[in-house]
Structure 1
């Protein structure tokens, strides 16, 4: 794959990401993305077979970027795993309670919209969320090993339960336009992990 190919394809993805993060998938037409990216429609179909294929690639790209950030937050750095895990939830609370679409979770934004619309995009979301939960479960296991999480836990089940709770809290935040659901999720996370309430300030 040539550098030029990768650069143009990436430019289309970056442009689409910025627009779709604010408006959603169905509300955004290809013309809007291509006009903003200054790319002709014929060139778009050189990189993506359809808008659905673009949406799938966009979700894969988002998940790859998200996992890289998650790995950076959770990677062993000499601090307790519990502190790093709570820092992840703390950042989620702070970014998802902001009204600005920048930094908003694309899974929260698109899951309900595209899962019934596109099987390919649903599967991209499923792959991505599965990988996220695996990372969280590994961090829980590490926390038990280093003594920062009291345990015992069923780490995979706990990770999925926490992730589901935070997705739901993020959706309620969009509906209510306040951060109460995310604050409640922080408290519930600390309780589920058997940590003191002051851990939410990690």
Structure 2
């Protein structure tokens, strides 16, 4: 019984993530979510007390999945600077993809929900800080292996890289051109050396 509970809850979150990636948080109603997930409205409220709690759960799940991917990309035998480049190329590839599940929910929902929900803002803040923490750890490894020689402190460098790529993702959405990622990759290389 517990497995079925988790499966249904996860199914609702997966369906909602796709819908929200396309349309945003406020444009996706609960009726649309339950219809797309093919679950009764009462089931939705069994798993989530409100749309706000639901939005937080969608973002929690997004970051849980994303941090696993980032952690995997930033590990391995390559020098740390190269692992960071692998991650940044992955980011560019996913944001240029047509797949809704590849899109960055921080870019899609960040500005929209931070003024609507303190809970969702906190999840976004915690999640982005966790990503930046993984970047910082990789930068520390890069200093140790000699592949990163930037004069910026590790925390500032990690924050700068993340902000640079969030901006590139936003510009990609606006212009529908990948040039922002190419420019950001060039700047990232400069920041690391």
Q: Which runs of 4+ in 1 moved over 2 A?
A: 97-102, 150-153
Cα separation, 1, equivalents of 2:190 and 2:30: 45
Which structure features the higher share of helix residues?
A: 2
Q: TM-score, normalised by structure 1?
A: 0.92
Correspondence list, 1:2-151, <5 A:
2-75=2-75, 77-151=76-150
The whole-number CA distance in structure 2 between the counterparts of 1:17 and 1:150 is 39
For normalisation by structure 2, the TM-score amounts to: 0.96
Out of 175-184 and 135-144, give the one that drifted further: 175-184
CA contact (8 A) 2:107 2:169 kept: yes
> What's the Cα RMSD here?
1.3
TM-aligned CA deviation for residue 153 of structure 1: 3.4
| Per-residue CA distance 1:28-85 (angstroms, 9 max, x = gap) | 111111011111011111100011100000000000000000111111x221111111
**Whole-Å separation in 2 of the counterparts to 1:153 and 1:144:** 11
Structure 1 spans left out of the alignment, 5+ residues? 195-202
Instruction: Provide closer, same or farther for how the CA distance between residues 102 and 47 of structure 1 changes in structure 2, counting only shifts above 3 A.
Output: closer
Structure 1 position 132, deviation (Å): 0.4
Instruction: Judge conservation of contact 2:95–2:102 (CA < 8 Å) in 1.
Output: yes
Q: Distance in 1 between matches of 2:98 and 2:14?
A: 21
Name 2:163's counterpart in structure 1. Answer: 164
Partner of 1:197: none
Identify the range of structure 1 (92-101 vs 171-180) with the bigger mean alpha-carbon deviation: 92-101
Question: Which piece of structure 1 moves more, 179-188 or 145-154?
Answer: 145-154
- The number of residues matched between the two structures is 193
